[in-house]
Structure formats: structure tokens, C-alpha cells
Structure 1
């Protein structure tokens, strides 16, 4: 599990990913799930959710959400004049990156 956490939690700059196809992200999720199962010696067809839960590991959605929350928190709390200026711009407030972040942080329950 330590090997998985050290190598598969570090998806650098994923909080800045904006332009990607859903199919590409789904393929990345499948790879992430398969890596965990292979390290645990589980068959490919077994439940990924169960494998993550039983081993206290985060899936890709949780890792991405944590990265977004961490970066967004640092941006919001920064006292750097350049970052403050960008943060107060309409491009930041209404831009696509902010919309993507909000979509990742506030998942809507349907039903």
C-alpha cells in the first residue's frame, strides 16, 4: 500500500487539468484501479471500490478533489500581490478553471 500511495497519489498538477476528454480520464481511472488490484494480487474483475475501501486507499476522484481543494485553499489564502490580483479578476472568478474546481469539490447528489 505504501508503494501505491507513494507512486499513484502524486499526480502532479492534476488540479490544473482543464482540457481533457472524459474518455481519457476514464482510461486513467481504469489504469489507477488496475494498478491497485495488481499490487494486491486481486483479479482484474473484482470490485475496485471494495479494494480501495478495504485497504484505506483513495481512488482517483478523491485524489483529484484533494488536490483541487489544496490548491484552491492556497490561492484563496495567499497574500502575494500577484496572486491576489489574479484571484480578484473576473477571469479567475468566472473562468473555466474555477467552474471545473467547483464541479470537483461540490458533487451534486441526484435522486
Structure 2
């Protein structure tokens, strides 16, 4: 599990991703899940919900939310003048990255 955490949690700069197709993200999720299944010797077609929980491993959505929350928190709390200027700009407030962050952090359940 340490191997999985060290290699599959480090999706560098994923908190800055703002332009991608849903199909691309779905393929990444499948790859992430298939990697864990192979490490655990599970069938490709089995559900991973219990495997994630039992092994204390996060799924890709949780990893991405954590990355976004961490970066957004650092940006919001920064006293650096350059970061403050960017944070106050309309590009930051209304831009695609902020919209993606809000969509990841505040998931709405429909139904």
C-alpha cells in the first residue's frame, strides 16, 4: 500500500487542472482503480469501495479534493503580495480553475 500511496497519490499539479474532458478523467480513474486491483490481486471487474476502505487508501476523487483544498487554503491564507494580487484579480475569482475547485470541493448530490 505504501508503494501505491507514494506513486498514485502524487499526481503533480492536479489541483491546477481546469480544462479536460470528462472521458479523460474517467480513463484516469479506471487506470487508478485497475492499479490498486492488480496490487491486491483482485479481479478487474470487482468493486473497489471496500478495498479502498480496508486498506486505508483514497480514491482519485478524494486525492484530487485534498490537493485542491490544500492549494486553495495556502492561496487564501498567503500574505505574499504577488499571491494576494492574483487572489484579488477577476481571473482568479471567476476563472476556470476557481470554478473547477468549487465543483470539486462542493459536490452536489442530485436526486
TM-score (norm 2): 0.97
TM-score (norm 1): 0.97
Partner of 1:50: 50
Shift of 1:87: 0.3
**Partner secondary structure for residue 45 of structure 2:** coil
Q: Which residue of structure 1 lines up, in the alignment, with residue 98 of structure 2?
A: 98
Structure 1 CA distance, aligned partners of 2:54 and 2:102? 29
* Stretch of structure 1 that moved more, 40-49 or 67-76: 40-49
Q: Structure 2 unaligned runs (5+)?
A: none
Alpha-carbon displacement from aligned partner over 1:53-110 (angstroms, at most 9, x marks no partner) = 2211100000000000000000000010000000001111111111100000000022
Residue 59, structure 1, aligned to residue 53, structure 2: no
3-state DSSP class of the match of 1:25?
helix
**CA drift at 1:48:** 1.7
CA distance in 2: counterparts of 1:76 and 1:53, whole angstroms: 31
Moved over 6 A (4+): none
Whole-Å Cα distance in 1 between the matches of residues 72 and 87 of structure 2? 10
Q: What is the SS of the residue equivalent to 1:47?
A: coil
RMSD: 0.7
Tell me the CA shift for residue 10 of structure 1: 0.4
